[in-house]
């Protein structure tokens, strides 16, 4: 989430990982946005809606929700850092949810940055843990009342790499190790990339995200020799012509070329990052669509390197952010495409609820309206 900053407005450097980390404050009080949880009038009959689960600082869902609302698609929001006043009832028999007094019939549930770690403590360690695990369980079980569920669970990097190799898509040579100092000989290269095995942000305190970012380590730079240490991923550094952030949006593929000096620049030196929109090369379109199908993704942010016209797959993030890149590239194509996807899935879900032979009249085509920008 590159757009979020620490309380002072600047990232706070950490020294716990090969790349400098930072702490981002994303508590609700730091957010500049105010947004109702439910759009639409409260009533007893369930309102067909798109249900978004994230946290209050999610700029991407703010933008997408506004677009969907403009074309008449009801949107409801549950943020993991604003749960203390949430009144929730889930009725699986009716496939309905009552949220703050309004009955909803979720057509799509999209779970992005929703994390129970964002729930503030109330003083009892056991009760806090019970509350957090209970809310996380609720989020994961909303599939029982939703026509379509998009969640933020993602396969690990080794699984991603294995699937890519079965598709004959190039990937960097990779190891996981508690002793990075010994990895160079095994990988057969002196220049390597070191990164976290899981997420590069951890939430040690609610709303405060500490980053442990990837680092490119050259042949003259030492790798940690302390062992046993924290398991990390070490990859060979791949020489390349371009680095691409490619968004797969339910069959549509949009891409951006990203230029930066170090991987951590996205968070620690955003002014050095350059982004431009581009027509995605055919081989990368094929690779993104193939991998999205294998991982059963409707949305994913893919990182590719382009080397001699061929893709090198790095990883996919099913809840990857895009507003920061759109702002730098001067485009809103990804936001529009995501809103278009949600409206289309919403319309399809509603159509499945209609009696056979019945056609809903519409004064205008929602998808065409969003496509026009």
Whether 176 has a pLDDT exceeding 90, the answer reads yes
Q: Which pLDDT score, from 0 to 100, does residue 225 have?
A: 54
Q: Which residue has the higher pLDDT, 222 or 92?
A: 92
Q: Does 230 have pLDDT greater than 60?
A: yes
Identify the residue whose tokens are 């080794």: 158
Mind listing the pLDDT tens digit for each residue in 54-113?
Answer: 999 999 999 999 999 999 999 999 999 999 889 999 999 999 999 999 999 999 999 999
- Cis-peptide, bond into residue 231, ω within 30° of zero: no
* C-alpha distance from residue 365 to each of 67, 76, 303, 346 (Å): 14, 22, 33, 13
Task: Give the chain's mean pLDDT.
Answer: 85
Tens of pLDDT, residue by residue over 191-211, are: 999 999 998 888 988 989 888
Q: Is the pLDDT of residue 22 over 90?
A: no
Specify the higher pLDDT residue, 30 or 220. Answer: 220
Q: What is the DSSP string of 203-272?
A: EEETTEEEE---EEE-TTSPPP--SS---EEEEE----SEEEEEEEETTEEEEEEEE-SSTTHHHH-GGG
Question: Do 332 and 254 touch, CB atoms closer than 8 A?
Answer: no
Between CA 365 and CA 351 the distance in angstroms is 14
| Most confident option among 4-8, 14-18, 28-32, 79-83 | 79-83
Residue 53 has pLDDT above 90, yes or no: yes
CA 74 to chain centre: 22
H/E run at residue 54: strand 47-54
Nearest to 278 by CA among 330, 323, 321, 342: 330
Q: What is the pLDDT, as a whole number, of residue 325?
A: 95
Query: What's the predicted TM-score (pTM) here?
Result: 0.86
Joined together, the tokens standing for residue 56 give 């209050």
At residue 20, the pLDDT reads: 46
Return the higher-pLDDT residue of 6 and 346.
346
Q: Which of the four pLDDT bands, split at 50, 70 and 90, describes residue 8?
A: very low
Q: Does residue 330 surpass a pLDDT of 90?
A: yes
Q: How far apart are CA 155 and CA 159, in angstroms?
A: 6
Question: CATH number of 25-150: 3.40.50, 1.10.3470, 1.25.40, 1.20.120?
Answer: 3.40.50
Quick: pLDDT tens for 232-260. Answer: 999 999 999 999 999 999 999 999 999 99
Lowest mean pLDDT among 37-41, 199-203, 237-241, 284-288: 37-41
pLDDT in tens, 128-169: 999 999 999 999 898 889 999 998 678 899 999 999 999 999
What does the domain layout of the chain look like in residue ranges?
Answer: 25-150
CA atoms within 13 A on the CB side of 288: 30
Give me the DSSP letters along 327-344.
HHHT--HHHHHHHHHHHH
Residue 199 is predicted with a pLDDT of 87
CA proximity to 234, closest of 18, 15, 13, 21: 18
């Amino acid at each position: 989430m590159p757009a979020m900053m620490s309380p002072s407005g600047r990232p706070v450097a950490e020294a716990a990982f090969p790349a400098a980390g930072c702490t981002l404050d994303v508590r609700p009080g730091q957010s500049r946005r105010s947004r109702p949880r439910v759009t639409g009038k409260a009533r007893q009959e369930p309102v067909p809606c798109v249900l978004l689960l994230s946290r209050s600082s999610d700029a991407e869902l703010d933008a997408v929700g506004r677009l969907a609302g403009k074309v008449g698609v009801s949107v409801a929001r549950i943020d993991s850092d604003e749960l203390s006043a949430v009144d929730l009832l889930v009725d699986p028999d009716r496939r309905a949810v009552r949220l703050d007094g309004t009955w909803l019939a979720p057509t799509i549930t999209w779970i992005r940055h929703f994390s129970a770690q964002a729930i503030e403590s109330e003083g009892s360690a056991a009760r806090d843990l019970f509350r957090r695990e209970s809310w996380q369980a609720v989020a994961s079980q909303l599939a029982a009342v939703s026509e379509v569920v998009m969640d933020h669970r993602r396969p690990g990097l080794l699984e991603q790499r294995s699937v890519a190799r079965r598709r004959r898509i190039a990937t960097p040579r990779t190891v996981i190790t508690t002793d990075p100092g010994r990895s160079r000989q095994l990988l057969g290269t002196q220049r390597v990339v070191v990164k976290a095995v899981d997420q590069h942000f951890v939430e040690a305190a609610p709303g405060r995200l500490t980053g442990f970012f990837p680092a490119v380590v050259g042949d003259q730079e030492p790798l940690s020799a302390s062992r046993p240490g924290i398991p990390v991923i070490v990859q060979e550094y791949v020489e390349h012509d371009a680095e691409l952030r490619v968004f797969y949006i339910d069959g549509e593929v949009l891409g951006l070329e990203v230029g930066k000096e170090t991987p951590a620049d996205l968070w620690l030196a955003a002014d050095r990052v350059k982004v431009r929109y581009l027509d995605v090369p055919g081989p990368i379109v094929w690779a993104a669509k193939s991998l999205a199908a294998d991982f059963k993704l409707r949305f994913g942010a893919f990182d590719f390197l382009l080397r001699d016209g061929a893709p090198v797959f790095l990883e996919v993030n099913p809840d990857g952010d895009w507003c920061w890149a759109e702002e730098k590239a001067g485009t809103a194509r990804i936001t529009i495409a995501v809103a278009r996807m949600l409206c289309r899935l919403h319309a399809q879900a509603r159509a499945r609820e209609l009696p056979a032979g019945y056609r809903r009249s519409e004064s205008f085509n929602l998808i065409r309206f969003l496509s026009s920008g």
